[in-house]
Amino acid sequence: MIIDGSEKSLRKFLSDLPPVDQVGAEARAAMLATRSIKTSSKAWAIDMAISMVDLTTLEGADTPGKVKSLCAKAVRPDQSDLTVPSVGAICVYNDMVKIARTELDRIGGKSLPVAAVATAFPSGRASLAVKKIDTQDAVDAGANEIDMVIDRGAFLSGRIYDVFEEIRVIKEICGKKAHLKVILETGELVTYDNVRKASYLAMLAGADFIKTSTGKVAPAATAPVVLVMLEAVRDYFTLTGEKIGVKPAGGIRTTKDAIKQLVLVKETAGEQWLTPDLFRIGASALLNDLLMQRMKLRTGHYASANYVTVD
Amino acid sequence: MSSLDVNKTYKLFIGGAFPRSESGRVYEIKGANKKFLANPALASRKDLRDAVVAAKSAQSGWANATAFNRGQILYRIAEIMQGRSEQFVEEICALEGITTKAAKLQVAEAIDTWVWYSGWCDKLSSVSGSQNQVSGPFYNFTTPEALGVIALFAEGKPSLLGAVRTLAPVLAGGNSAILIASESYPLPAITLGEVIATSDVPGGVVNILTGKASELLPWVGSHMEIDGVDVAGLNKKQEDEIKLVGADNLKRISRFAPGNHPERILSFMEHKTIWHPIGI
Amino acid sequence: MSDFEYANAPESKAIANISPNYGLFIGGKFVDPKKGKSFSTINPATEELLSKVGYGDKSDIDAAVRSARAAYTKIWSKMPAKERGKYLYRIARIMQERAREFAVVETLDNGKPIRESRDTDIPLAAAHFFYHAGWADKLEYAGFGSKPKPLGVVGQIIPWNFPLLMLAWKIAPALAAGNTVVLKPAETTPLTALLFAEVCQQAGLPDGVVNIVTGDGITGAALVNHPDINKVAFTGSTEVGKAIARSISATKKTATLELGGKAANLVFEDAAVDEAVEGIINGIFFNQGHVCCAGSRLIIQENVADEVLEKLKKRMSLIRVGDPMDKNTDLGAINSKEQLNKIEEISKTGDAEGANRWSPDIKLPTKGFWYPPTIFTGVTQSHRIAREEIFGPVLSVLTFRTPAEAIEKANNTMYGLSAGIWSDKGAKVLWAAKQLKAGVIWSNTFNKFDPASPFGGYKESGWGREGGRHGLAGYLISDSKVNK
């Protein structure tokens, strides 16, 4: 135990964390962005990235039909090429969990997890009672993963123990049925120091994954933010022996973006994090670009969007 | 019957004290009228060594004093010199054989020189420093800092002014100094030491040696704790010699045009550039 | 589990048109050396021959100085300053246009990673010309008197660690101030200087304003001792710097010297540790540690030393050593066999004197000259590896208990070129920056360079500054100083 669960020990732990130098962190991320990933390593990276995608639809206009077609794409992203791996998970609002789970089971995606955004996503502005019900509802509907949002207002106003307690309570509800991903919404935390503190806070409270963003706030999963979070899981592992996953979400649209993320993982947390169990990419448009790049590598010519499905 | 004059004993000025040369040697100085004036100490290499030790240990304290404080102390030297003008005028007249009027002018100019450099102390970094526009998220600035221990070979004539115009700028920049007075015209320099000793200048910041430049020169040149040299009082051959030996620790060696100029200060300073990221 | 090995990503050599032979660049033309001698320059990563370049001797130096003098007297000193500036702008632009080619040639000749020549050396070299171009017609505002005058003909000698960048540091301010130059590139890295000679031709720079004479130390000595140069500008070892100071001691020549270093990189307990580790890596492994201002002495506060070292070692394991032309290479080849021997020799004293050597498990190429990233822990002030410049990827690690001790150790050296400070506490950073006896202080960063930022050392790290307003002083006559 690195903290005893009390507010005092949590505060002490977080205040003892080393600071992050913004310029230095951004320079490191920028340097890693210059890595040139070609040929065989590119092919490997594309397939790995596909298997890490949390294929997401989080719209007010989501319908059962839309979610079902998303499920089909998740299981077999490219109907013309069955060597393409399935994605990491699909990510939907609570009320779509049951539909998604049923559909996936029906079409051969039993092992593909369904993630639900619970706890008053995306703002997190609801009472704890509501958040608990929200979470319980998703778990009951068959969600394998809960993507919860933290109360950024509480964090920024210094009520970090409230944030900690909320995560702990939600984790209890998830129990063994669902993995807990904690969304920090780094765009609202603003500083890298806050990102580091919030990362540790979430891990200490029981997060299985720490996730950058809801996708509703910009900036989202910038490279330096992901770098700082990867450093956090790396160092947390050194400290506790426990591996926590990282999920950048928002703003990752192209194969190039995705490969840059994998480079960040490899050269920060290390190769052992290069698995869908420990790294996911929350995205929707990204998958098609990965598929087109994959076609390009296979066929040698540039692909057309007409050959990948719109959803 | 008039009473007999009590003549002054001219000694060295090292570490705030007035010792005789450890060698026990003196040499004779005659006035312009060929009459005996004094037996100043003939400093040895060991006196030089002691002076360097004193200068080295005093330097960082002097450099770390606020520039405002250093400026006040240099101005204080001017004040005390003003009070001792008569004595300087007499010494200069006897030594250089110039008119009282000319000697007075020299003393006045020496005093003005202290005042001028006093005012430089807290303005140097504004004039010589800079904030540099680097392309990147960094605050980058350059600021002058004292070099360390500077040896000064004072000119012979003008005897007082020659000493002051080498010494004042070096002190203004935060260095400590070893002033090697002109062999033939050393007396005002020693009296200057007495002024300095009573002007709040910390002991060791100024050290004054009398004797033969030719004897001390190779030791000054090769002393690894001496960082810079003003060769005002050396001839060309001696300058070449000290530059050759001084290369051993890359001494900063300069000769200046007559007159006062901030470059006299800056030549014995280093520019330090500091980078710091700008971020949250 | 993963196996995300980066496939080879080599930069194409096709862009580099390296001629099999080069003459000396004198009076605007490539000419054969008078004695007809030449020497080889090789790729240190493969030991393959790149080209044969002319060996300049005393008579060639004399021809070059004459050409520079004539250009100075007849053309360059008479040209309106703004026109001079426009030539420098032209040069800067052509260097930018040919940046990729310069980067490839630099990496082939020097052994440094293409990422560094592409992202650092070449852009900075062009930036130096761009920066100084703007000074040419503004010198009267630079604070060196109302009518600043050039010195005349300047002899310049540059090292092999940043061949083109050092050329830019030398030539750009010299020309901006109105001088003409004779430059001698380093023996092992002459090619980008010769490519630069082509740029001078493309820019239409008047003949003789820039002369480039390739050769070795003897060529350099002939330049230093030529009676008709007004100034020597040298970057290289302290030993040679002192020799130059001696050779010009009885002349009217002035000098700027940019010499060795043994920079302390101080890590305080309150540092941003991850960025500090990056800074340490960049401080000592940038350019294979062939950097005079390299952070070669890491001095860590004892209570965080274990944490920092553990992270440092993990990070060192990620350093990609190998083909400099691969875009993903972090650490390239050692520039020469001679330098490799020197690194090996001094490093061995570290073992012998009881320090603990550690290198990550990295496979080095079999051909060419290579040295693994290395750290020595348990180093004390008296070890040779803590005092001598190694000029290679070898870091000596020491510890301190109090800030005063850190400064004392940092300053306990004859050098004073640069230093690093890692602390998140502003007041402490400024305190340390003030105490450190070094010309460049990097706080919470390291090995940053910019044309606007003066560079140069305290103590035996040299005379004068290069870059920024302060760098101009070395190329202008001072009203208030007398050079015999």
Query: CB distance from B278 to chain A under 8 Å?
Result: yes
Can you tell me the mean pLDDT for B23-33? 95
Express each pLDDT in C167-178 by its tens digit.
Answer: 999 999 999 999
Contacts with B132 (C-beta within 8 Å, 6 or more apart), sequence order: B140, B141, B142, B273, C450, C452, C453, C454, C468
Interface probe for B, chosen from C120, C481, C483 (most Cβ of B below 10 Å), is C481
- Beta-bridged to residue A282, according to DSSP, are A54, A249
- The span from the CA of B256 to the CA of B271, in Å, is 20
Domain ranges, residue B245: 29-277
Q: Do C439 and B249 touch (CB under 8 A)?
A: no
Following DSSP, what letter does each residue of B40-103 receive, concatenated? Answer: -B---HHHHHHHHHHHHHHHHHHHHS-HHHHHHHHHHHHHHHHHTHHHHHHHHHHHH---HHHH
Q: Note if the bond before A224 is cis, omega within 30 degrees.
A: no
For residue B138, what is the nearest residue in chain A, using CA coordinates? A23
Lookup result for tokens 């998220």: B137
Is residue A147 among the annotated active site residues?
yes
**For residue B193, what are its two tokens?**
């030491």
H helix count then E strand count, chain A: 13, 8
CB contact at 8 A, A283 and A253: yes
Tell me how many helices (H) and strands (E) chain C has. Answer: 16, 18
Whether residue C286 has pLDDT greater than 80: yes
Reported as a pLDDT band with limits 50, 70 and 90, residue A306 is confident
**Residue B97 clears pLDDT 80, i.e. is over it:** yes
B279 touches chain A (CB under 8 A): yes
Question: Phi and psi dihedrals of B276, rounded to 5?
Answer: -145, 135
Give the residue on A whose Cα is nearest the Cα of B139.
A23
Closest CA to C169 of C196, C204, C143: C196
Q: Taking the CB of residue B86, how many other CB atoms lie within 10 A of it?
A: 10
Nearest-angstrom CA–CA distance, A212 and C35: 68
Q: How is C214-246 classified by DSSP, letter by letter?
A: ---HHHHHHHHT-TT-SEEEEES-HHHHHHHHH
* Angle between helix C217-224 and C238-247 (nearest 10): 30
CB A37 to CB C9 under 8 A? yes
A247-260 per-position pLDDT tens digit = 999 999 999 999 99
Helix, strand, coil percent values for chain C (each to nearest 5) = 40, 20, 40
- Substitution target in B165, B273, B280 with the highest count of C β-carbons within 10 Å is B273
The residues near B184 (Cβ < 8 Å, ≥ 6 apart) are: B29, B156
What topology is assigned to A7-296 in CATH?
A: TIM Barrel (3.20.20)
Catalytic one among A181, A247, A257, A289?
A: A247
Query: pLDDT at residue A139 above 50?
Result: yes
Cα–Cα distance for residue pair C420/C441, rounded to 1 Å = 6
Averaged pLDDT for residues C446-455: 98
> In this structure, are residues A89 and A55 in contact, taking their beta carbons and an 8 Å threshold?
yes
Q: Please give the Cα distance from C28 to A104 (Å, whole number).
A: 75
Residue A18, preceding bond cis, omega within 30 degrees? no
Nearest by Cα to C191 from C49, C357, C395, C35:
C49
CB atoms within 10 A of CB A11: 15
Mean pLDDT over all residues of chain C?
Answer: 97
For residue C353, what pLDDT band results from cuts at 50, 70 and 90? very high
Calpha distance A67→A91 (Å, rounded): 10
The count of structural domains within chain B is 1
Query: Which residues have a Cβ under 8 Å from the Cβ of C228 and sit 6 or more positions away?
Result: C65, C66, C69, C153
Stretch C240-262: mean pLDDT, rounded?
A: 97
CATH number for B199: 3.40.605.10
Instruction: Please name the residue of chain B whose CA is at the shortest distance from the CA of residue A25.
Output: B279
pLDDT of residue C480: 84
Report the 10 Å Cβ neighbour count for B32: 14
Structure tokens at B96: 């250089």
**Best of C275, C304, C328, C422 to mutate (most A CBs within 10 Å, chain A):** C275
Q: Which residues of A touch C (CB under 8 A)?
A: 18-21, 23-25, 27-28, 34-42, 44-45, 48, 231, 238, 262, 266-267, 271-272, 274-275
* Domain residue ranges of chain A, discontinuous segments joined by +: 7-296
Confidence of residue C1 (pLDDT cuts 50, 70, 90): very low
Q: Catalytic annotation on C258?
A: yes
3-state SS assignment for residue A283: strand
Tell me what pLDDT residue A144 has: 98
Q: Which amino acid type is present at position C281? A: I
Percent of chain A with pLDDT over 70: 100
Spatial separation of the C-alpha atoms in residues C357 and A10, rounded to whole Å: 39
**Annotated catalytic residue: which of A147, A208, A257, A289?**
A147
Rounded average pLDDT over C4-25:
95
Nearest to A41 among C5, C279, C444 (CB): C5
Q: At what angle are helices C122-135 and C99-110 packed, to 10 degrees?
A: 120
Of chain C, the percentage scoring pLDDT greater than 70 comes to 99
For A93-120, give one letter per residue: b (16+ CB within 10 A) or e: bbebbbbbbbbbeeeebeebbbbbbbbb
> B280 and A23: CB-CB below 8 Å?
no
The interaxial angle of helices C122-135 and C163-176, nearest 10 deg, is 0
Chains in contact with C, counting 3 or more C-beta pairs less than 8 Å apart as contact = A, B
| Range C264-451: architecture per CATH | 3-Layer(aba) Sandwich (3.40)
CATH superfamily label, C21-259+460-475: Aldehyde Dehydrogenase; Chain A, domain 1 (3.40.605.10)
B140 → closest Cβ in C453, C481, C482: C453
Token pair 């000419």 is found at C31
Q: Nearest by CB to A41, from C6, C273, C327: name it.
A: C6
From chain C, the residues in CB contact with B146 under 8 A are none
* A213 in Cβ contact with A183 (< 8 Å): yes
Give backbone dihedrals phi and psi of B267, rounded to 5 degrees, phi first.
-65, -20
Residue B122 resides in a domain: yes
CB C52 within 8 A of CB C20: yes
Q: Which residue has the tokens 């002018």?
A: B105
Which candidate, C191, C188, C193, C183, places its Cα nearest to that of C125? C193
The size of the A-C interface in CB pairs under 8 A is 79
Contact flag B275-C445 (C-beta cutoff 8 Å):
yes
d(CA C434, CA C437): 8
What per-residue confidence (pLDDT) applies to C145? 86
In chain A the first and final C-alpha atoms are separated, in Å, by 45
Domain borders along chain C are 21-259+460-475, 264-451
How buried is residue C84: exposed, middle or buried, by Cβ count under 10 Å (0-12/13-18/19+)?
A: buried
The verdict on A59 touching B (C-beta cutoff 8 Å) is: no
Averaged pLDDT for residues A268-272: 96
Q: Which of C101, C187, C258, C269 is catalytic?
A: C258
User: Is C4's Cβ below 8 Å from some Cβ in A?
Assistant: yes
| Whether the predicted pLDDT of C479 surpasses 90 | no
Cα A54 from chain centre: 7
pLDDT band at C2 (very low <50, low <70, confident <90, very high): low
pLDDT of residue B36 exceeding 80, the answer is yes
- Can you tell me the distance from the alpha carbon of C243 to that of C140, in angstroms, rounded to the nearest whole number? 34
Tens-digit pLDDT profile for residues B1-21: 578 888 888 999 999 999 999
What pLDDT is recorded for position A2? Answer: 87
Q: How far apart are the first and last CA of chain C?
A: 74
Q: Is B24 on the interface with A (CB under 8 A)?
A: no
Residue in B206, B249, B215 with CA at minimum distance from that of residue B234: B215
Residue A26: its chain B contacts at CB < 8 A? 279
SS3 C367: coil
Residues of C in contact with A35 (CB under 8 A): 6, 327-328
Mean pLDDT of B75-96: 97
Identify the residue among B274, B278, B280 best suited for mutation to test binding to C, counting C beta carbons within 10 A and taking the highest.
B274
**Of C477, C460, C478, C467, nearest to C243 (Cα)?**
C460
Which positions 318-337 of C are in contact with A (Cβ < 8 Å)?
A: 318, 327-328
Instruction: Write A65-73 long-range contacts (CB < 8 A, 24+).
Output: A66/A311, A67/A92, A67/A96, A67/A99, A67/A100, A67/A103, A68/A99, A68/A100, A68/A103, A69/A311, A70/A100, A70/A311, A71/A100, A71/A103, A71/A104, A71/A107, A71/A109, A72/A103, A72/A107, A73/A287, A73/A309, A73/A311
Q: Is residue B78, in this structure, part of any structural domain at all?
A: yes
Given A73, A211, A257, A260, the catalytic residue: A211
In the DSSP assignment, the letter for residue A308 is S
Using a CB–CB cutoff of 8 Å, tell me whether A191 touches chain B.
Answer: yes
Nearest residue of chain B to residue A191 (CA atoms): B280
Q: What is the model's pLDDT at position B1?
A: 59
Burial (CB count within 10 angstroms: exposed 0-12, middle 13-18, buried 19+), residue C2: middle
Contact C101, C108 (CB under 8 A): no
**Of residues C106, C269, C292, C466, which has the active-site annotation?**
C292
**Residue A31 contacts B where some CB pair is shorter than 8 Å:** no
**Which residues on chain B are in Cβ contact (under 8 Å) with A24?**
277
CB-CB under 8 Å, B138 with A23: yes
Sheet strands (E) in C401-443: 418-422, 440-443
Please report residues of A whose CB lies closer than 8 A to that of B134: none
Q: What is the mean pLDDT of residues C431-448?
A: 98
pLDDT in tens, C206-237: 999 999 999 999 999 999 999 999 999 999 99
Residues A206-222 have pLDDT tens digits of: 999 999 999 999 999 99
pLDDT at B103: 98
Between CA A194 and CA A192 the distance in angstroms is 5
Instruction: Give A94's DSSP letter.
Output: G
- Cross-chain Cβ contact B280/A24 below 8 Å: no
Q: Do A22 and B277 touch (CB under 8 A)?
A: yes
Count CB-CB contacts under 10 A for residue C32.
Answer: 13
Asked if omega into B158 is within 30° of 0 (cis), the reply is yes
DSSP state of C49: E
Query: Mean pLDDT over all residues of chain A?
Result: 96
Q: Is residue B170 part of a domain?
A: yes
**Which residue in chain A has the smallest CA separation from C425?**
A19
Residues of C249-264 as b/e, b for ≥16 C-beta within 10 angstroms?
A: bebebbbbbbbbbbbb
Task: State which residue of chain B sits closest to A193, comparing Cα positions.
Answer: B280
Tell me the pLDDT tens digit for each residue of C391-400.
999 999 999 9
Q: Which pair of structure tokens corresponds to residue C8?
A: 């080879």
End-to-end CA distance of chain B: 85
Q: Quick check: A37 and C271 CB within 8 A?
A: no
